[in-house]
Structure 1
Amino acid sequence: MTIVRQNALNTTVNPSVKTPETLAEKLIETERMHDVLLLLQNLINSEEATVKLILDCLYDVGSVNLINQKLRMKPLNRVMKLIARISKPVFRTLALNWFKKNCPQLITNWLHTQVAFESIQNVPQEVAVEVAELQPYPIPPTENPYQEIKNLRSQVRLLAWISIIAIAVLAVTAIKLN
């Protein structure tokens, strides 16, 4: 006959077991991060002019660098820079809407990772799932990257045609007004 002793006191702490204190801390953390999100949204709404100026600066630098990188021929390069300058108001409107929708959540998630003080190896799997669920607009995984590239190229062509048409309308309007 074998005698099996039960350990009455388990001295090891299982990290997956949540104590009421840990749950309360997580709840407070979640509430505070939601407060940060709301404060960032309020900051963006109240400082819209500053956000527009930042986006303008980023557009100026980014468009010139992208055009210089992609187009080596000088005449085409100059034409594209002119088109980029003319299309800046359209970009500003689209970028501001995107910024208002996405940036508060992105900044909040980034700030949360900065104050979590957890190393990448110590992050439990369930925390990664929770962070993934917090993203407001999850991007569905594509099964065929070639199809995604094809879709993006068609969108670029569409935007190029819209830009050309907008410039033509602008030129015709300027000619008629003069």
Structure 2
Amino acid sequence: MTIVRRNTLNRTVSPSVSPPENLTEKYMEAERMHDVLLLLQNLINSEEATVKLILDCLYDVGSVNLINQKLRLKPLNRVMKLIARMSKPVFRTIALNWFKKNCPQLITNWLHTQVAFEKPQNKPEQVAIEVVQLEPYAIPQTENLSQEVQNLRYQIRWLAGISITAIAILVVTAIRLN
């Protein structure tokens, strides 16, 4: 089932506000929201150390939760947690650049929606539409399942090979450093 949003076009101007005043208010609103954007960018640049600490905390929690959710095998789970700890500096650099580039605008947009005080009736309606996906060729259920099992076995072989290679590289690096 797919949810499709339909915007309502019944937006009326308040009788007490004439169109020229409305335009000046909109212009002032846009200017003030641009000021908020600039202030947020300045805040992020001046408090870069705080942003890095926040991203580190989010990475620590998120990586452990993701690994626990995706990998149930204990030995593989532990190895991946070690790899995740070693990749933290790379994540920090990429995440900080993304944060500086995108978050001021995202936060500004969110704050603007908070102070807009739009009535709930102006929100888009949600219309439920049922979408049926057709398969071009009917594959028997047993053939489909056996093909799925083969694909999973192939993925397991690849993951095992990558894991063994990563562990070997880690051991060689640790030996060379010592």
- What whole-Å deviation, never above 9, does each CA across 1:21-55 have from its counterpart, x for those lacking one? 11000000000000000000000000000000000
CA drift at 1:123: 5.4
More strand by share: 2
- CA distance in structure 2 between the partners assigned to 1:173 and 1:76 by the alignment: 19
Which residue type is aligned with residue 15 of structure 1? V
Alpha-carbon distance in structure 2 between the residues aligned to 1:78 and 1:177: 22
CA distance 1:80–1:177, shift in 2 (3 Å): closer
Q: CA RMSD in A?
A: 2.7
Give % identity. 82
**In the TM superposition, what is the alpha-carbon distance from 1:19 to its structure 2 partner?**
1.1
Structure 1 residues without counterparts, runs of 5 or longer: 1-13, 125-156
Q: Distance in 2 between matches of 1:73 and 1:94?
A: 29
Matched pairs, number:
127
Determine the C-alpha separation between the residues in 1 that align with 2:105 and 2:83: 32
Q: Secondary structure at the match of 1:72?
A: coil
What is the alpha-carbon distance in structure 1 between the residues aligned to residue 20 and residue 100 of structure 2?
Answer: 36
Q: Which residue of structure 2 aligns with residue 64 of structure 1?
A: 64
CA distance in 2, matches of 1:18, 1:66: 54
TM-score, normalised via structure 1 length: 0.64
Deviations 1:106-140 (A, max 9, x none): 0000000000000342259xxxxxxxxxxxxxxxx
1:44/1:171 CA distance change after superposition, 3 Å: farther
Structure 2 segments unaligned to the other structure (5+ residues): 1-11, 125-157
How far is the alpha carbon of 1:171 from its aligned partner? Answer: 5.3
Give the 5 Å matches for 1:111-130: 111-122=111-122
